[in-house]
Structure 1
Amino acid sequence: MGPEVTCPWRGRLPRFQVRTWIEPVVASTQVAASLYDAGLLLVVKASFGAGGPSNHSANPSPRGALEDEQQKAISNFYIIYNLVVGLTPLLSAYGLGWLSDRYHRKISICVSLLGFLLSRLGLLLKVLLDWPVEVLYGAAALNGLCGGFSAFWSGVMALGSLGSSEGRRSVRLILIDLILGLAGFCGSMASGHLFNQMAGHSGQGLVLTACSVSCAAFALFYSLFVLKVPESVASPSKDLPAVDTVSGTIGTYRTLDPDQLDKQTAAGYTSSPGKTKPPIYIIALLFVGAIVYDVAVVGTVDVMPLFVLREPLSWNQVQLGYGMAAGYTIFITSFLGVLVFSRCFQDTTMITIGMVSFGSGALLLVFVKQTYMFYIARAVMLFALIPITTIRSAMSKLIKGSSYGKVFVILQLSLALTGVVTSTVYNNIYQLTMDKFVGTCFALSSFLSFLAIVPISIVAYKQAR
């Protein structure tokens, strides 16, 4: 296959080449995930107390004891649920990544999609048969034992990296994230309306969960029978075998610049034999920056649904769906940001811009009292997706293509493990502070987001030397 495989949004396409695109799998999986996330929250909320469209109906007090107890019950559910979701992939995700590198790239994607389908079926059966919410822990465990999101997304990133050149990899990976965001936006916008399609205790949420199962099933069958692995175009040119594609220019970290490799090739730079190993300390700094930033993001995302369901916002099902959809708009703005910034900035600068964007938005969430203020804070987070995606792109330029699956799954498992701890800590902090200062978690996330800039700044300093 020719280089056109790496650029599905442009160029003339040979016959059947569209089958190498991972985008249909990402889109259908994310629609299923966004419907599932909204449905899970609303089903759990209904199970822990019959609150109507507003939380005022069951208690004459705006911030009564019933609302607080319901919030604590939902928070405790998510503490256990997130522990199961975060820890069970540790048993299988790395093995799936190793198998994908050694035998077939689709292994981690297909197996994890099977787990996604089983977990969505669990929520559907809970709604249909009125099972206790504890069965959802078992559904989450099945999902995790099949690799979960860690195995799925590392597989997606591996395929995206293999099918793109180093100079365009940041844009290629952020394009996949854009598809993820657009699909999540559509699913979230529809989730509140689909949840209310059938009335009654046993019927409410049935249409929503059935749609989620359908999308997950489509993603699995597409990946099994349609998707093909693209040929790698990331290898260096045969005409210039001496170009150091691992460490960039001679002894420096210039491969973080998306266009730097092409400039080196044009200038005829060659590497020295002693500079062919990847700079481990640079990879470690990127790992630290990604983990600290992810703690800030995960903590905010975990607490935000609880925050909007209580006073002072007290959102209903439809408003919740719209709010979740607003979170997916950052995929669009981050894509546009990378498209523009990659032409004039190095990756480290783009990462810093994204971290400042999220940290500023999290700080504004501390002072949210009305719905329009929430959306202003969300708008400030417009580049929040850039850091993690760009860090993945930077790492892929420092390692061999045959190691993509293992390295990406190690990063994803590290994020998942810290996410488990983050979820537990943040939910407990939220329970302790929701009556005193409900914005405590958002203030902490803002601090951590700015703190994550430190290791990235060290990388930039090393790059400039």
Structure 2
Amino acid sequence: MVLPTPCQAILVVIQQTDPAIVLEQMGTAFFHNGLAMVVKDRSVNATYPNTSLSKDESQQKFISDFTMIHALIDHVAHVLPALFLAKIGDRGWKKVPIVVSLFGSLQSSLMLLLVIHFHFPLEVMFGAAILSAMCGGLCSFWSSVMTLSLLSSTVANRSKAMVKLELLCGITNLVANLVSGHLFLLFSSSLGRGTFQLSLSTLLILLCLIHVIVLLQVNVIEREAEEGYQPVSDASTNAPAGMNKVNVLLVYAATMLYTFGHNGAESLLNTFLMKEPLNWNAIQLGYVSATGSVINITSFLGVVVFRRCVGEILLILIGMVSYASGIFLMSFVTTAYMFYLARTLNMFSLIPLPIIRILLSQQVPASSLVVTFTSLHISMKLASLAYVPAFTEIYQSTLSWFPGFIFTLSSIVTVLGMIPISIIRCRSHRRHQYERIPGN
């Protein structure tokens, strides 16, 4: 029996990665926002007897220390498991890294729920982070999801597939973050603050896991002339058929600097907003996370609009300028309207990384896509060994005289990241001029 067209369309959508992305993003957004608020609640009793810290500074130290340790575990411990799972994925078991990483996310959400309900020590979450990392972490999930999205698209449509993925993540995160603060306070008197939100997070991740195991289909579109595949030239850089190692190193340098500046500041943004004079609560912090989702959407729209008139290099520079200007203004934020003004300047700040991923996908064979994306994720995560403790220590040291100094530092590092990208553009422009002489 032939299914009606609407039913066929629904079945096709269900068998793609889109439902898994929506469920996973919703679940993890509820988890991370809930974890931030649980840490804030526990910081009320934080004391440091051997120091001269005030109560507010003690709470800030407790929150930033926990955030630093949790981030280091999350960013570093998954390196070897993620590489191992990537190898399995490239050998044909594309769904295995996704399933294993979701098991890790499920146990983290469940563990935080137990911490709230049974009043376990907050340090239990460090163990949950280690277990999640042993399952490959979000690195394995996203590397594999991006690979499936790209393999189910033709080479010509891969850039569209990547920006569509970013847009879907942005919209889903926007919805999740807008409601997460309200969910955290729901039934707080009878069940405990955050119980309902973390229960919903656990359920969503479980549904995502079931979807991936039962419904998700791996559809691979054969690449044109795979054996003789050559990298697609970048219109903005006129890339040669062979790999330009100098340019590759410059791109990696720019990526590391941008990651250092962007992630270093973002990791402490909620901590900064929890202190006086802002002292934001769960609902307001949910809105903060929602602004990040809006930036995801505006960055997608920026790619769609700007790509018509500029190349990849200029797109990356536009994104870096957007972030550097907005995060510099964040240094002086003392009111809500100043925060949202700074976030408005950040509206194109997530453009650089998707463009870099698109370029990488055009230069490697399909059999190596999982390893390629996993390696890129791991390189950025390993940078956290430097930026997480560095930014945390600087933030704690400057609390008394300039709490926003870390954002100024982030702006400076982001501007430095523009230098390698600018060098690539100069090298490519010079090579383009040389190549035009014989034709003339």
TM (norm. structure 2) is 0.90
Q: Does 1:47 align with 2:42?
A: yes
Structure 2 counterpart of 1:370: 335
Structure 2 counterpart of 1:284: 249
Q: Which amino acid aligns with 1:102?
A: R
Q: How far does residue 192 in structure 1 lie from its aligned partner after superposition?
A: 1.1
**Kept after mapping to 1: 8 A contact 2:188/2:195:** no
Structure 2 counterpart of 1:147: 136
Structure number having the greater helix percentage = 2
Q: Does 1:158 align with 2:147?
A: yes
**Alignment equivalent of 1:71, drawn from 60, 79, 84:** 60
Structure 2 counterpart of 1:333: 298
Q: How far does residue 189 in structure 1 lie from its aligned partner after superposition?
A: 1.0
Distance 1:176 1:303, change over 3 A: same
Per-residue CA deviations over 1:17-70 (Å, capped at 9, x if unaligned) read: 33452121111111111111111011111112169xxxxxxxxxxxx8111111
Q: Which amino acid aligns with 2:390?
A: V
Does the residue aligned with 1:92 lie in a helix, a strand or coil?
helix
**Kept after mapping to 2: 8 A contact 1:297/1:445:** yes
In angstroms, what is the RMSD of aligned CA positions?
2.5
Q: Does 1:236 align with 2:224?
A: yes
Q: How far does residue 256 in structure 1 lie from its aligned partner after superposition?
A: 5.4
**Kept after mapping to 2: 8 A contact 1:360/1:381:** yes
**Alignment equivalent of 1:23, drawn from 11, 14, 18:** 18
Does the residue aligned with 1:460 lie in a helix, a strand or coil?
helix
**Alignment equivalent of 2:353, drawn from 369, 388, 398:** 388
**Counterparts of 2:355 and 2:399 in 1: how far apart (Å)?**
34
The 5 A counterparts of 1:426-445 are 426-445=391-410
Per-residue CA deviations over 1:114-134 (Å, capped at 9, x if unaligned) read: 111111111111111111101
Structure 2 counterpart of 1:255: 234
**Kept after mapping to 2: 8 A contact 1:130/1:202:** no
**Kept after mapping to 1: 8 A contact 2:234/2:311:** no
Q: Which amino acid aligns with 1:245?
A: Q
Distance 1:167 1:342, change over 3 A: farther
Does the residue aligned with 1:434 lie in a helix, a strand or coil?
coil
Structure 1 counterpart of 2:314: 349
Distance 1:400 1:282, change over 3 A: farther
Does the residue aligned with 2:268 lie in a helix, a strand or coil?
helix
Q: How far does residue 78 in structure 1 lie from its aligned partner after superposition?
A: 1.3
Q: Which amino acid aligns with 1:296?
A: G
**Counterparts of 1:17 and 1:277 in 2: how far apart (Å)?**
38
Q: How far does residue 257 in structure 1 lie from its aligned partner after superposition?
A: 5.4
Q: How far does residue 230 in structure 1 lie from its aligned partner after superposition?
A: 2.0
**Alignment equivalent of 1:209, drawn from 183, 198, 219:** 198
**Kept after mapping to 2: 8 A contact 1:38/1:191:** yes
**Counterparts of 1:284 and 1:186 in 2: how far apart (Å)?**
38
Q: Report how many aligned residue pairs link the two structures.
A: 420
Distance 1:284 1:201, change over 3 A: farther
**Counterparts of 1:237 and 1:90 in 2: how far apart (Å)?**
33
Q: How far does residue 232 in structure 1 lie from its aligned partner after superposition?
A: 2.5
Structure 2 counterpart of 1:4: none
**Counterparts of 2:161 and 2:255 in 1: how far apart (Å)?**
19
Unaligned runs of 5+ in 1: 1-11, 52-63, 249-253, 262-274
Q: How far does residue 401 in structure 1 lie from its aligned partner after superposition?
A: 1.3
Q: Which amino acid aligns with 2:230?
A: T
Per-residue CA deviations over 1:266-286 (Å, capped at 9, x if unaligned) read: xxxxxxxxx754333333222
**Kept after mapping to 2: 8 A contact 1:197/1:204:** yes
Q: How far does residue 340 in structure 1 lie from its aligned partner after superposition?
A: 1.3
Q: Which amino acid aligns with 2:258?
A: Y
**Kept after mapping to 1: 8 A contact 2:98/2:144:** yes
Structure 2 counterpart of 1:198: 187
Distance 1:352 1:102, change over 3 A: same
**Kept after mapping to 2: 8 A contact 1:171/1:335:** no
Per-residue CA deviations over 1:261-318 (Å, capped at 9, x if unaligned) read: 9xxxxxxxxxxxxx75433333322222111111111111111101111112111221
**Kept after mapping to 2: 8 A contact 1:100/1:106:** yes
Q: How far does residue 16 in structure 1 lie from its aligned partner after superposition?
A: 4.3
Q: Which amino acid aligns with 1:27?
A: V
Distance 1:42 1:145, change over 3 A: same
**Counterparts of 1:126 and 1:283 in 2: how far apart (Å)?**
45
Q: Which amino acid aligns with 1:142?
A: L
Q: How far does residue 425 in structure 1 lie from its aligned partner after superposition?
A: 1.1
Q: Does 1:98 align with 2:77?
A: no
Q: Which amino acid aligns with 1:213?
A: T
